[in-house]
């Protein structure tokens, strides 16, 4: 019985290894072609797209940044379980096993084909897996069965129970060795393919030798922020590496800037197409803009402030000649993902732009290289299309976009909000002089006042940090003499139109969270 179990496990392992070799070599192939053609990634993306909004909300809330690794992990675990079962089936019915394994590979192929920008060449990695997986399964199963057959020889010769014929022994040993060598070599191969794939993706992701063009009228250097004086307050400018990232991609699109274009079409007088160099050669501008994600909870981290370099969106649209029917800009990214933005936000004079730089550096791949939309005052999902390749002037009653199809609000201005960065919620701090500090934002209106309340007392006005315009957040602090015990701290902001941050608690869905942040800290 024990031996049977061990054999079953060996065959299950053969199934898993066959699947893993197929998928990892396919992944390496995809890394060399285009990451979107990786069957493993395509399945993950298909699952993301098919997940209903409430589940997605729950995942982002409960799993946070871990949601993607957990998703990939569960797809992997499911695949491994199936592959193990197939390995066991193959032990006695090899052909059926091979067919089932091919089926397991074809499932992700459907996800590859259903991508909006699908090209026939995307099927190459799947074909690789389709050939390799079953081949490895056949090879390993045969090796295992051969080993077992030779193991059986002595049992079929009961007249010699204690004497192992030297021939049978060495045959058994050598077939065992073959199996071990086969397993080892294949494991190494798939590990090398996986690591190699990752290295290829990383090296392709590096953006070589690109500098930002000179800006026509550079902004003055950003003022020194409060973070220099008070530990724990978010820095005035969010460093690119710390800037939050939110998108539906499992693999960051690798876009080649020489073949990339930006097209303006739809309800325009003339369709226009710009190359990356066209954008770089135009007069570039700089704007300080704080980006916010609609999924940001009160007190959350999905907000970042940067100096963006690029060309004014309005200029591009005016060159194309906006028709009089359009009320929406439907922007499409290089993989077909769409965002809808109210046309008015592009034309009403705010600093909407096609950005190619962030904080003095060429846009990174994860933040949208070669170019993205940035529209101050609107949540990212309605105005910050990364890897943008097309702007279609259309109408809300004719075309919808990815998130609005999933019932998120069509027009979504960022709600004014404020956050306590220090002290940290639920932290223990020593008694004595300290500061309460953080950031507040009210894009398009500007922050006028931040107030802090300690233990339900009166609202006290905080000091504000430097001002970089209405679209940029303000840092704030309030000196505080912390007495031993437990304390409740709250913050609220008022914008320059006199609007006070709402106390109504709202979840991010469907148009952004609201309510004031209240935290508890222990002193002493």
Ligand X SMILES: Nc1nc2c(c(=O)[nH]1)N[C@H]1C(S)=C(S)[C@@H](COP(=O)(O)O)O[C@H]1N2
Among the residue ranges 3-11, 239-247, 277-285, 391-399, the one whose residues contact Mo ion (CB under 5 A): 239-247
- Using the structure block, give the residue that is written with the tokens 């059986």: 152
Among the residue ranges 240-248, 423-431, 459-467, 505-513, the one whose residues contact ligand X (CB under 6 A): 240-248
Residues 382-401 binding ligand X (CB under 6 A) are 384-387
Write the DSSP string, 351-413: --EEEEEETTEEPPGGGTTT-EEE-TTB-GGGT--TTEEEEEEE-TTT---TTGGGT--SS-B
Among the residue ranges 142-150, 343-351, 377-385, 437-445, the one whose residues contact ligand X (CB under 6 A): 377-385
Comparing CB distances to ligand X, the nearer of 122 and 243 is 243
CA-based nearest residue to 133, from 304, 251, 16:
16
Q: Tell whether residue 403 is a contact of Mo ion (CB under 5 A).
A: no
Q: State the minimum distance, in angstroms, from the CB of residue 46 to ligand X.
A: 15
Q: State the minimum distance, in angstroms, from the CB of residue 229 to Mo ion.
A: 31
Contact with ligand X (CB under 6 A): which of 41, 293, 298, 516?
A: 293
Q: Tell whether residue 293 is a contact of Mo ion (CB under 5 A).
A: yes
Write the DSSP string, 283-330: PBEEEEEEEE-TTPPTT-S-EEEEEEEEEEHHHHHHHH-B-SS--EEE
Give the contact letters, 327-366, x = binds to ligand X (CB under 6 A), - = no: ------x---x-----------------------------
- Judged on CB neighbours under 10 Å (0-12, 13-18, 19+), 202 is exposed
Distances (CA, A) of 422 to 139, 230, 367, 425, 468: 61, 9, 28, 8, 22
Q: Which helix (H) or strand (E) holds 342?
A: strand 338-342
Q: State the minimum distance, in angstroms, from the CB of residue 146 to Mo ion.
A: 56
477 makes contact, choosing from Mo ion, ligand X, none, with CB < 5 to 8 Å by partner type, with none
Point out which residues pair with 373 in neighbouring strands: 354
Yes or no: say if 418 and 439 are a contact pair by the CB < 8 Å rule: yes
Q: Tell whether residue 383 is a contact of Mo ion (CB under 5 A).
A: no
Among the residue ranges 10-18, 373-381, 452-460, 468-476, the one whose residues contact Mo ion (CB under 5 A): 373-381
Q: Which two tokens stand for residue 459?
A: 């609202």
- Using the structure block, give the residue that is written with the tokens 């079409």: 265
Q: Tell whether residue 243 is a contact of ligand X (CB under 6 A).
A: yes
Residues 431-490 binding ligand X (CB under 6 A) are none
Among the residue ranges 238-246, 392-400, 401-409, 470-478, the one whose residues contact Mo ion (CB under 5 A): 238-246
Comparing CB distances to Mo ion, the nearer of 219 and 246 is 246
Length of the chain in terms of residues written = 524
Comparing CB distances to Mo ion, the nearer of 363 and 414 is 414
Pairing of strands 261-266, 388-394: parallel
Write the DSSP string, 380-396: GGGT--TTEEEEEEE-T
Q: State the minimum distance, in angstroms, from the CB of residue 116 to ligand X.
A: 12
Q: Tell whether residue 267 is a contact of ligand X (CB under 6 A).
A: no
- Work out the end-to-end distance of the chain between its first and last CA atoms, rounded to an integer number of angstroms: 63
Comparing CB distances to ligand X, the nearer of 87 and 300 is 300
Q: Tell whether residue 244 is a contact of ligand X (CB under 6 A).
A: yes
Give the residues lining the site for Mo ion (CB under 5 A): 246, 293-294, 380-381
Give the residues lining the site for ligand X (CB under 6 A): 243-248, 291, 293, 333, 337, 367, 380-381, 384-387
């Amino acid at each position: 019985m024990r031996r049977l179990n061990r054999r079953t496990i060996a065959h299950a392992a053969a199934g898993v290894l066959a699947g893993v070799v197929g998928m990892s070599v396919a992944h390496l192939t995809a890394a060399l072609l285009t990451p979107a053609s990786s069957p493993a990634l395509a399945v993950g993306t298909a699952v993301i797209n098919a997940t209903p909004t409430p589940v997605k909300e729950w995942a982002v809330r409960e799993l946070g940044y871990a949601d993607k690794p957990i998703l990939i992990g569960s797809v992997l675990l499911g695949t491994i379980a199936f592959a193990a079962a197939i390995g066991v089936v193959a032990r006695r019915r090899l052909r059926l096993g091979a067919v089932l394994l091919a089926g397991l590979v074809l499932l992700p192929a459907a996800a590859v084909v259903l991508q909006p920008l699908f090209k026939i060449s995307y099927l190459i990695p799947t074909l690789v897996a389709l050939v390799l997986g079953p081949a490895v399964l056949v090879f390993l199963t045969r090796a295992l069965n051969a080993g077992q057959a030779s193991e059986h020889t002595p049992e079929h010769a009961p007249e010699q129970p204690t004497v192992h014929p030297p021939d049978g022994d060495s045959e058994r040993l050598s077939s065992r060795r073959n199996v071990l060598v086969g397993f080892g070599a294949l494991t190494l191969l798939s590990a090398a393919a996986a690591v190699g794939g990752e290295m290829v993706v990383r090296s392709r992701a590096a953006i070589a030798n690109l500098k930002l063009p000179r800006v026509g009228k550079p902004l003055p250097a950003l003022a020194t922020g409060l973070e220099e004086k008070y530990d724990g307050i978010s820095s005035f400018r969010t460093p690119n590496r710390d800037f939050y990232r939110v998108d539906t991609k499992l693999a960051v699109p690798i876009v080649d800037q020489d073949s990339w274009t930006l097209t303006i079409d739809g309800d325009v007088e003339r369709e226009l197409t710009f190359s990356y160099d066209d954008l770089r050669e135009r007069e570039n501008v700089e704007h300080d803009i704080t980006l916010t994600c609609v999924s940001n909870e009160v007190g959350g981290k999905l907000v970042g402030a940067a100096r963006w370099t690029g060309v004014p969106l309005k200029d591009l649209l005016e060159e194309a000649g906006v028709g009089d029917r359009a009320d929406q800009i439907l922007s499409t990214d290089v993989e077909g993902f769409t965002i809808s933005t109210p046309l008015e936000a592009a034309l009403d004079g705010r600093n909407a732009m096609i950005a190619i730089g962030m904080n003095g550096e060429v846009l990174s791949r994860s933040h949208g290289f070669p170019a993205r939309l940035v529209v101050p005052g609107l949540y990212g999902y309605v105005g910050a299309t990364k890897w943008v390749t097309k702007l279609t002037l259309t109408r809300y009653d004719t075309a919808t976009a990815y998130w609005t199809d999933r019932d998120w609000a069509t027009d979504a201005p960022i709600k004014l909000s404020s956050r306590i960065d220090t002290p940290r919620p639920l932290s223990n701090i020593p008694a004595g002089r300290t500061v309460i500090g953080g950031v507040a934002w009210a894009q398009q209106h500007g922050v006028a006042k931040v107030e802090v309340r300690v233990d339900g007392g009166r609202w006290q006005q905080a000091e504000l940090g430097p001002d970089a315009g209405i679209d940029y957040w303000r840092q704030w602090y309030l000196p505080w003499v912390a007495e031993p015990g437990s304390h409740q701290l709250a913050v609220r902001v008022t914008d320059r139109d006199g609007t006070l941050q709402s106390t109504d608690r709202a979840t991010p869905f469907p148009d952004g969270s609201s309510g004031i942040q209240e935290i508890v800290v222990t002193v002493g």
